[in-house]
Amino acid sequence: MSLMGILDRVADVATFDKAIEPARRAVQSLPDAVKDALHGTWLGHPLHPVLVQVPVGSWVSAGLLDAVPPLRPAATVLIGTGVAAAVPAALSGAADWSEQGSGVRRLGALHALANTAALGLYVGSLVARGRGRGTLGRVLSYAGLGIATGSAAIGGHMSYAQSSGASHAATAARALSTDWIDLGPLDDLPEGRPALRTGPGAGVDVPLVAVRRGTRVDAFIGACSHLSGPLHEGAVEEVRGHQCLVCPWHGSAFDLDNGEPRRGPAANPQEKLETRMEAGRVMARLPGHQR
C-alpha cells in the first residue's frame, strides 16, 4: 500500500475522536482575534505553512552542520532557533486544525503528537549539549529530525490530499467559464441577502452567490474558500467595520468590496466576480478576461 493509502486509512480511524475533542474545544475557545492572527486571516494567506519554514529549515541545516565537527556550535544555535520557532508554528497549526473536518483532525492529531515528540528530542539535545554530552545531543537531534520528517509527510498529506489550507473557492473558480454569465434580472435579487446563482463550468454548474445592495451587486464564487461552505445560505453582516458575506458553516466573513477575509477561520480570500448591468440584468465574470 502506498504512503497515501496508509494515511487515508489512518484518517478513517475514529477510535481517538473522543480523546481529540477536548483539545479541539480548548483551541476553539481562544478569543477570535487570537485565532484569526494564528489562521493568517490578516495576511490573506494561511500562516502555518509560513511559520513552519523556520523550525524545519533550522533543524535540517543543524543536521548538516552536525556532520562537520568544527561547525557543531552553529548547529546548536540552529537547534535552539528551531525549538523557539516551533511554538508559534504549532499554535497556528492548532488553530487551523480545530476548524477542519474529522479526517483532517485525525491526521492532524497524529501530526501534532509526532511534532511534540520531535520537539522533546530537540530540547533534550540542547540540554545534553549544554552539559557537554555532544554525542548524546547529536543522537537526540538526529532522532528528532527523523520524526519531524515523518511528521512533515503527514502535514503534506493534509495539505495536498485533504486540501486543508487550500482555497476551495479558487478551485471552483478554475472550473468556471471565463465568459460573461447572466445572473438574471436585478429586480429578482433580494435586497441585502445572499442569493444563489450558477455559472457554467467544466461539465458541471459552478455555484455563485450574489448580494444586492440597491443597484449595486457583488458576486462571488459560492463555495467558501475555507471548506466549500454554501455562502448563499449565509448572511450579510458588518464585521470589524466592513460589510461582509458570512459563511454559515464556521463564520468566516468576506469583505463584500473585495472578498478579503475579515474574520476566520478562512485565511484565503473569496474569489470575486466583476459585474455589469445589461438591459436590467446582472452580468458577471471572473476578472481579467476581455469581453
Chain positions contacting ligand FES, by CB under 6 A: 224, 226-227, 229, 247, 249-252, 265-266
Distance between CA atoms of 97 and 107, rounded to whole angstroms?
10
Nearest distance from C-beta of residue 48 to ligand FES, angstroms: 16
Return the amino acid letter for 270: Q
State the minimum distance, in angstroms, from the CB of residue 224 to ligand FES.
3
- What cell numbers appear for 67 in the block? 556532520
Q: How far is the CB of 249 from ligand FES (least distance, A)?
A: 4
Nearer to ligand FES, 66 or 99 (CB): 99
Min CB(166)–ligand FES separation in Å: 12
| Nearest residue (CB) to ligand FES, 27 versus 128 | 27
Residue number, 169 or 283, with CB nearest to ligand FES = 169
Nearest residue (CB) to ligand FES, 58 versus 268: 268
Q: Is 30 exposed, middle or buried (0-12, 13-18, 19+ CB in 10 A)?
A: middle
CB of 265 to ligand FES, least distance (A): 6
CB of 266 to ligand FES, least distance (A): 5
Let me know: does 47 contact 35? Beta carbons within 8 Å.
no
Report the residue number, 148 or 247, with the smaller CB distance to ligand FES. Answer: 247
* Nearer of residues 41 and 76 to ligand FES, judged by Cβ: 41
What count of Cα atoms within 13 Å lies in the side-chain half-sphere of residue 278? 10
Q: Indicate the residue among 93 and 137 with the shorter CB distance to ligand FES.
A: 93
In whole angstroms, the minimum distance from the beta carbon of 231 to ligand FES comes to 7
Cβ distance to ligand FES smaller for residue 142 or 249:
249
CA–CA distance from 142 to each of 95, 118, 124, 136 (Å)? 28, 10, 12, 10
Q: Residue 252 CB, nearest distance to ligand FES (Å)?
A: 3
Neighbouring C-beta atoms of residue 95, cutoff 10 Å: 26
